[in-house]
């Protein structure tokens, strides 16, 4: 009997030894020591050299630490160790469950991605969360509750009007439920079809529900073109009326009429912040946006030649608009509106209208990339301490920002153009989004934090994704840890899927069995 027990014991020990399974009963939690790294701790403080120990998913020591006997080490000489990047505006709700390794995300240092932006979120949130809990990804996730999603739940197809007080009350009820399920707050997309019919009061009413349980109001504002300033004023007033922190999505000035006006835009935001509005913004590092064809014409007169002509002119003409996807006629993809007009012997206006009609007939809409932002505006925005980095992309996005946002900022705007120092840029990728979400144990590299970490080479880090090849992976990101588990190592996914679902205050939402 004793012999049998000891045999089992040794067999188990051997198994533990062979597999190094963390679940083995007698084994103490494995620690790992990262040596000689330059630390960008996320606060914006200057780089400093330290060793960092991680164990049981957390950072357990930072400083002059010596390896313990048998402790695995990584020599990070010449590399920078930072908190993992938190992408507060990510559109992977459908693509992540199909691609749990999320290589386009982890290869640029993202360890947490937040979905549910621009007014649209999975419905109900709980079922998406359950899916991600049952089948975890390599990255952590969290979500906002979308205003348009809730609006459609209540109004159905009859959404092209102001909501009644009773409908707003029903929306508030739905909002309350989404917050109870773990939403980080309310997101809106007031420039898009469903959200655009909402009056300011409706958004305020829902924001108040989000605010009551500690949520944030994150918004793609009503206009990012000629009426950008009016839309900004509305956003600030929603923040003030609902007493809610505001996250301005992908700050930009997207048409010829407002280009170059970043200093005035910033002035309005600074004044609001001074009055006490808790206003932060995010920005993606590209001068081109990705949206749908109808967004181009603000008065929604998609087949009115006058409206279309004025709209196209405001973007600098059809050569600034490239079709990326159009299911009724796939050959249009990759061509500008100007090119299509020419090859079809139509004016740009008529070509636009034809695309709208073909799309409507097939119940779809062309996806487009519009090139209309200017670098000086982007630089001015990025240099504000209240502007963070976010992608507005996601897993397998058709815009290069999906795979290249964070590495592009580090390579192009820090190393090459020197718009930002490295600690400033890291701050905008880590503790600033964590602050916006109210998360205290992520986004800063310090003892006690969750070990979401990225180790990269500051001399080589760069994006490789382009409009022609939008999913090309970045270079220079050496290792990525999520909850203390290595998910990316020397240009490859490790296959580990330690991602969790995170709610308000950084709470990890329950793992289901």
Which spans of this chain sit near Zn ion (rule: CB under 5 A)? 118, 220
Residue closer to Zn ion, measured from CB, 220 or 408: 220
Cα-Cα-Cα-Cα torsion 259, 260, 263, 264, nearest 10 degrees, comes to -50
Residue closer to Zn ion, measured from CB, 52 or 190: 190
CA angle 169/173/179 to nearest 5° reads 140
Residue closer to Zn ion, measured from CB, 116 or 470: 116
3-class DSSP string for 430-488: CHHHHHHHCCCCCCCCCCCCECCEEEECCCCCECCCCCCCCCCCCECEEEEEECCEEEE
Query: To the nearest whole angstrom, how small is the minimum distance from the Cβ of residue 85 to Zn ion?
Result: 19
Return the structure tokens found at 13.
């020990």
Other Cβ atoms closer than 10 A to 214: 14
**In whole angstroms, what is the distance from residue 456 CA to residue 38 CA?**
10
Question: Which whole-number Å values give the CA distances from 452 to 22, 56, 62, 204, 481, in the listed order?
Answer: 18, 12, 14, 35, 5
Residue closer to Zn ion, measured from CB, 121 or 483: 121
Q: Given the DSSP bridges, would you call strands 48-55 and 31-39 parallel, antiparallel or unpaired?
A: antiparallel
Query: To the nearest whole angstrom, how small is the minimum distance from the Cβ of residue 291 to Zn ion?
Result: 8
Query: To the nearest whole angstrom, how small is the minimum distance from the Cβ of residue 144 to Zn ion?
Result: 12
**Pick from 17, 35, 21, 132: which is nearest to 77 by CA?**
35
Residue closer to Zn ion, measured from CB, 118 or 234: 118
Query: To the nearest whole angstrom, how small is the minimum distance from the Cβ of residue 498 to Zn ion?
Result: 29
Residue reference for tokens 């929306």: 171
Residue closer to Zn ion, measured from CB, 208 or 250: 250
**In whole angstroms, what is the distance from residue 336 CA to residue 324 CA?**
9
Contact yes or no for 365/65 (Cβ under 8 A): no
Q: Is 224 left (phi over 0), alpha (psi -120 to 50) or beta?
A: alpha
**In whole angstroms, what is the distance from residue 411 CA to residue 422 CA?**
10
Query: To the nearest whole angstrom, how small is the minimum distance from the Cβ of residue 283 to Zn ion?
Result: 12
Residue closer to Zn ion, measured from CB, 220 or 227: 220
**In whole angstroms, what is the distance from residue 191 CA to residue 248 CA?**
13
Query: To the nearest whole angstrom, how small is the minimum distance from the Cβ of residue 369 to Zn ion?
Result: 14
Query: To the nearest whole angstrom, how small is the minimum distance from the Cβ of residue 89 to Zn ion?
Result: 7
Residue closer to Zn ion, measured from CB, 118 or 235: 118
Residue reference for tokens 């001068």: 287
The total number of residues shown for the chain amounts to 513
**In whole angstroms, what is the distance from residue 240 CA to residue 250 CA?**
20
Buried b (16+ CB within 10 A) or exposed e, 218-232: bbbbbbbbbbbeebb
Contact yes or no for 422/80 (Cβ under 8 A): yes
**Pick from 197, 190, 235: which is nearest to 217 by CA?**
235
**In whole angstroms, what is the distance from residue 315 CA to residue 293 CA?**
13
Residue nearest to Zn ion (CB): 220
CA 87 remoteness from chain centre: 4
Query: To the nearest whole angstrom, how small is the minimum distance from the Cβ of residue 192 to Zn ion?
Result: 8
Residue closer to Zn ion, measured from CB, 174 or 291: 291
Residue closer to Zn ion, measured from CB, 250 or 479: 250
Query: To the nearest whole angstrom, how small is the minimum distance from the Cβ of residue 117 to Zn ion?
Result: 6
Residue closer to Zn ion, measured from CB, 53 or 248: 248
Residue closer to Zn ion, measured from CB, 103 or 224: 224
């Amino acid at each position: 009997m004793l012999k049998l027990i000891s045999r089992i014991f040794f067999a188990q020990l051997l198994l533990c030894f062979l597999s190094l399974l963390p679940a083995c009963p007698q084994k103490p939690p494995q620690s790992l020591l990262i040596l000689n790294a330059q630390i960008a701790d996320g606060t914006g403080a200057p780089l400093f050299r330290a060793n960092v120990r991680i164990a049981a998913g957390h950072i357990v020591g930072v400083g002059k630490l010596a390896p313990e006997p048998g402790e695995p080490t990584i020599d990070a000489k010449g590399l920078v160790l930072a908190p993992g990047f938190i992408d507060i505006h990510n559109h992977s709700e459908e693509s992540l469950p199909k691609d749990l390794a999320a290589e386009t995300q982890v290869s640029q240092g993202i360890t947490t991605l937040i979905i549910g932006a621009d007014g649209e979120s999975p419905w109900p949130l709980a079922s998406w969360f359950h899916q991600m809990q049952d089948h975890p990804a390599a990255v952590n996730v969290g979500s906002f509750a979308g205003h348009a999603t809730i609006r459609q739940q209540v109004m159905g197809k009859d959404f092209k009007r102001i909501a009644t007080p009773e409908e707003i009350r029903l929306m508030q009820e739905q909002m309350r439920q989404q917050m109870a399920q773990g939403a980080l707050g309310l997101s809106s997309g007031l420039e898009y079809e469903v959200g655009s019919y909402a009056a300011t009061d409706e958004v305020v009413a829902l924001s108040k529900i989000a605010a009551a349980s500690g949520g944030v109001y994150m918004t793609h504002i009503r206009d990012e073109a000629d009426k950008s300033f009016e839309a900004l004023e509305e956003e600030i007033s929603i923040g003030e009326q609902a007493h809610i922190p505001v996250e301005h999505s992908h700050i930009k000035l997207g048409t010829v009429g407002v280009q170059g006006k970043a200093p005035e835009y910033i002035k309005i935001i600074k004044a609001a912040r001074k009055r006490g509005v808790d206003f932060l913004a995010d920005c993606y590092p590209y001068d081109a946006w990705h949206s749908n064809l109808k967004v181009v014409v603000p008065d929604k007169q998609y087949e009115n030649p006058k409206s279309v002509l004025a709209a196209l002119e405001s973007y600098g003409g059809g050569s600034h608009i490239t079709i990326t996807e159009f299911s009724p006629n796939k050959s249009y993809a990759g061509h500008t509106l100007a090119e299509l007009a020419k090859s079809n012997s139509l004016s740009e206006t008529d070509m636009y209208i034809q695309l709208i009609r073909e799309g409507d007939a097939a119940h779809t809409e062309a996806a487009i990339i519009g090139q209309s932002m200017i670098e000086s505006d982007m630089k001015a925005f990025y240099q504000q301490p209240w502007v963070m980095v976010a992608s507005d992309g996601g897993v397998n996005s058709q815009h290069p920002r999906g795979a290249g946002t964070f590495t592009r900022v580090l390579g192009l705007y820090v190393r090459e153009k020197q718009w930002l120092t490295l600690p400033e840029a890291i701050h905008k990728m880590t503790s600033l989004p964590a602050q916006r979400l109210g998360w205290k144990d992520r986004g800063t590299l310090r003892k006690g934090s969750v070990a979401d970490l990225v180790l990269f080479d500051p001399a080589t880090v760069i994006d490789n994704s382009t409009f022609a090849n939008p999913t090309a992976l970045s270079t220079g990101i050496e290792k990525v840890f999520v909850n203390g588990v290595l998910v990316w190592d020397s240009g490859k996914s490790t296959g580990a899927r330690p991602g969790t679902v995170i709610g308000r205050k950084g709470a990890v939402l329950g793992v289901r069995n």
